[in-house]
């Protein structure tokens, strides 16, 4: 499977959004593989991690996020489940779409969706597999926002930011940090 070929079904090479997506995806892929290689005793699927990390944000073009060039009609929080729909339509195995759907925040629970009236399907979207958790954690260490370009994001900053969204997100991420020795 060639993640770049799949991405290029939806993004035009050379555009700002393509560059933002590819740069971010490569950084997340590298960080995901770094985490996975330190957990080799748990037998993570490295090939799947490499492919899924490249595809985890494929749905961003369907959302509104002017700072990174997204001009879609949906709120940015929808990019995960919309990415899952895209990959399902491409007939990829379901596990690829689940990475898209479950990587936002530190996962979003059905309770979060209802209590915050989020414009998402009413279901749990929390990473379950080791590979999903690794990619979700790695994603938090890099922002696509140009105002954060080149800035290193620390584990403490991630936990603080997730805590502002929801204490359960911060708690879940903190558990992964311990599990992954980050």
Query: How many Cβ atoms sit within 10 Å of the Cβ of residue 82?
Result: 19
- According to the model, what pLDDT value does residue 143 have? 80
Let me know if 132 is exposed, middle or buried by CB neighbors in 10 A (0-12, 13-18, 19+). buried
Model confidence pLDDT, tens digit, residues 126-136: 999 999 999 99
Structural domain tally of the chain? 1
| pLDDT band for position 7 (cuts 50, 70, 90) | very high
pTM to 2 decimal places? 0.94
Query: Can you tell me the distance from the alpha carbon of 24 to that of 18, in angstroms, rounded to the nearest whole number?
Result: 10
| pLDDT band for position 179 (cuts 50, 70, 90) | very high
Domain coverage including residue 61: 3-180
| pLDDT band for position 152 (cuts 50, 70, 90) | confident
Query: How many Cβ atoms sit within 10 Å of the Cβ of residue 51?
Result: 20
Long-range (24+ apart) CB contacts under 8 A made by 160-163 are 162/105, 162/106
Q: What is the CATH number of the domain that holds 71?
A: 1.10.3210
Q: Are 63 and 74 within 8 A, CB to CB?
A: yes
Q: Is the sign of the CA dihedral 155, 159, 162, 164 positive or negative?
A: negative
Segment holding 159, helix H or strand E: helix 155-165
- The conformation of residue 11, written as its DSSP 8-state character, comes to S
Model confidence pLDDT, tens digit, residues 13-30: 999 999 999 999 999 999
Average pLDDT of the segment spanning 132-150? 85
């Amino acid at each position: 499977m060639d993640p770049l070929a799949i991405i290029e079904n939806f993004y035009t090479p050379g555009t700002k959004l393509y560059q933002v997506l590819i740069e971010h995806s490569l950084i997340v892929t590298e960080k995901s593989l770094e985490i996975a290689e330190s957990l080799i005793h748990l037998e993570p699927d490295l090939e799947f991690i490499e492919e899924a990390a490249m595809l985890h944000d494929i749905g961003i073009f369907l959302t509104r996020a002017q700072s990174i060039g997204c001009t879609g009609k949906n709120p940015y929080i929808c990019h995960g489940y919309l990415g899952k729909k895209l990959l399902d339509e491409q007939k990829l195995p379901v596990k690829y779409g689940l990475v898209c759907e479950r990587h936002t925040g530190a996962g979003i629970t059905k309770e979060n969706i209802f209590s915050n009236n989020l414009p998402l399907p009413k279901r749990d979207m929390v990473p379950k597999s080791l590979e999903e958790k690794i990619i979700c954690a790695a994603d938090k260490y890099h922002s696509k926002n140009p105002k954060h370009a080149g800035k290193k994001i620390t584990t403490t900053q991630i936990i603080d930011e997730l805590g502002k969204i929801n204490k359960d997100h911060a708690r879940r991420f903190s558990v992964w940090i311990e599990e992954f020795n980050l």
